Amino acid sequence: MRLYNTLTRQKEEFVPREPGKVAMYICGPTVYNHIHIGNARTFLSFDVIRRYLRWSGYEVTYVQNVTDVDDKIINRAREENRTPAEVAAEYTEAFITAMHALGIEDPDIRPKATAEIPAMIEMIECLIENGHAYAVEGDVYFAVRSFEEYGKLSGRDIEQMQSGARVDIDPRKRDPLDFALWKAAKPGEPSWDSPWSQGRPGWHIECSAMSAKYLGNPFDIHAGGDDLVFPHHENEIAQSEACSHTTFANYWLHGGMLTIDREKMSKSEGNFLLLKDVLSHIRPQALRLLMLQTHYRSPFDYSAERLQEATAALERVEGSLRNQEWAIANAIVTADELLSNDQPNKVTDQNDMARALLDHIEKKHRQFKSSMDDDFNTAGAVAAIFELVTAANSSITETVQNSLLKDAAAIARQTIIELLGVLGVALEGDEGHREELPTELVDLAAEMAGYGGDKPAEAVGELLAARQKARERKDWACADALRDGLAELGFAIEDTAAGARVVRKG
């Protein structure tokens, strides 16, 4: 398995610190609002990576924090005349609900910043002791120039940062590049006791302290959106490595940006979508499938049309699985019957078809795995599944299936469901109860095809055979009547190169 490491700017072989186990940390939400679909994409990407690692045999520990103390939360609380804790509680719950709606699994550990203050204070003390941080009037700052490797993740040069105009000049900082580890509280702000002041932690120290506490350093994978590379992740590395003198995280994975109709998402441009609003009128699984068709590091363009296409693709897969299930459950004639009906060629043909299908399943399974092993290329993985769906579909163009073909079709169906499941795409009704054929088919066949038995599956075969005969003698009225009779019971006839078959409608 190879993955692209932002730190080294190349794909590397993945070697976990402990064989068979993966420790992963994903920067979580700041809970002051509902999350937008750009955030959702990031969390979805890493949910899929986690699922794939697990499917590949790793035991994964997945930690995602909740930033529940922050200026944005405090400002929102002030605007709404509530406490920051109330705002944070509301949007933490909203976040979890939205994650569940999109089929994103809960992390193994979801630490909240406000519950982890002691670990942060401890790390800040360590940095002061090591000469990497200093306190000024109740605030504590990290001395950026004291950490020689600062800039290694984002590839920025410290001298260029210095000349950059974005740095605010604060007379209390020794250097304009220094950033806050602890901030003294202003009146009315949430605050905690510390050696320096009643105050609260800076955002960056949260992730350094919580990942060290729950995963230890170095851990395997640190992930987040690529907007976090600088300064957040750069600062996390500086804090953690300056304190522990060991590597912080071995692999850095960053998800690409999301655009809407090829424009950058922006609140002020009115080009902004909350996940909950998108999910209110579409099937979440369609959004999931759509997002997976772009590699997680590439920019992803969202549009209503693309979402519609993904919905249609999802429905095609589901329809095809339903048809396969039906065909498998109701294979009408056994190989023996084919032989006794003097159709030995058909048995040979079907054996060939079955072997070709089994071959195809193996190939697509391999393609799925090699795509995912190549830096989690979900686009390639989804393509492999779609190709398998097409192949499985053509194998059920025959309503008559011998047992080998029937078994191959069943394996294809199971493989499609399994691989979509690895990507977290849950299908409607995939845990197949076998649909019973209605007994009305027997009555219809008795009436229109002179069928004397009592088996619905046989009745279908008789009806198709009668239709075939009617067509041969150009009795279109009779052929249409047979078709209409089946339609009334909810079945459509599909004419294919390999003969007619019956499928359930819709």
Q: Tell me which residues touch Zn ion (CB under 5 A).
A: 27, 207
Closer CB to Zn ion, 28 or 461, in the complex: 28
Q: Give, as one character, the DSSP assignment of residue 229.
A: I
Tell me the closest approach of the beta carbon of residue 349 to Zn ion, in angstroms.
Answer: 59
Secondary structure (DSSP) of 230-244: IIIIHHHHHHHHHHH
Residue 350: its H or E element: helix 344-373
Best CA proximity match to 254, nearest among 14, 32, 103, 41: 41
> What whole-number distance in Å separates Cα of residue 19 and Cα of residue 184?
44
Beta-carbon contacts of residue 382 (< 8 Å; ≥ 6 apart)? 289, 292, 293, 423
Closer CB to Zn ion, 146 or 239, in the complex: 239
| Strand duo 133-136 + 139-142: pairing | antiparallel
Tell me the closest approach of the beta carbon of residue 25 to Zn ion, in angstroms.
Answer: 8
Closer CB to Zn ion, 224 or 284, in the complex: 224
Closer CB to Zn ion, 207 or 290, in the complex: 207
> What whole-number distance in Å separates Cα of residue 485 and Cα of residue 492?
10
Best CA proximity match to 252, nearest among 281, 280, 289, 219: 219
Tell me the closest approach of the beta carbon of residue 183 to Zn ion, in angstroms.
Answer: 17
| Cβ–Cβ under 8 Å, residues 185 and 191 | yes
Tell me the closest approach of the beta carbon of residue 207 to Zn ion, in angstroms.
Answer: 3
Residue 283: its H or E element: none
Closer CB to Zn ion, 249 or 275, in the complex: 249
Residue 61: its H or E element: strand 59-64
Peptide bond into 190 cis (omega under 30): no
Closer CB to Zn ion, 77 or 237, in the complex: 237
Closer CB to Zn ion, 99 or 207, in the complex: 207
Tell me the closest approach of the beta carbon of residue 204 to Zn ion, in angstroms.
Answer: 7
| Cβ–Cβ under 8 Å, residues 278 and 285 | no
Closer CB to Zn ion, 27 or 466, in the complex: 27
**What torsion do the CA atoms of 14, 158, 125, 66 make, to the nearest 10 degrees?**
-50
> What whole-number distance in Å separates Cα of residue 151 and Cα of residue 153?
6
Closer CB to Zn ion, 27 or 292, in the complex: 27
Torsional class of 137: left (φ above 0), alpha (ψ -120 to 50), beta (otherwise): left
Tell me the closest approach of the beta carbon of residue 141 to Zn ion, in angstroms.
Answer: 19
C-alpha distances (whole Å) from 326 to each of 97, 183, 351, 418 are: 35, 64, 20, 18
Closer CB to Zn ion, 67 or 197, in the complex: 67
Secondary structure (DSSP) of 150-212: TTTTTT--HHHHHH-TTSPP-TTSSSTT-EEEEEEPPTTS--B--SS-SEEE-HHHHHHHHHH
Tell me the closest approach of the beta carbon of residue 210 to Zn ion, in angstroms.
Answer: 9
Q: Give, as one character, the DSSP assignment of residue 107.
A: P
> What whole-number distance in Å separates Cα of residue 192 and Cα of residue 213?
19
> What whole-number distance in Å separates Cα of residue 324 and Cα of residue 422?
21
Closer CB to Zn ion, 225 or 256, in the complex: 225
Closer CB to Zn ion, 221 or 260, in the complex: 221
C-alpha distances (whole Å) from 297 to each of 26, 258, 368, 379, 443 are: 15, 10, 18, 11, 58
Closer CB to Zn ion, 207 or 489, in the complex: 207
Tell me the closest approach of the beta carbon of residue 229 to Zn ion, in angstroms.
Answer: 11
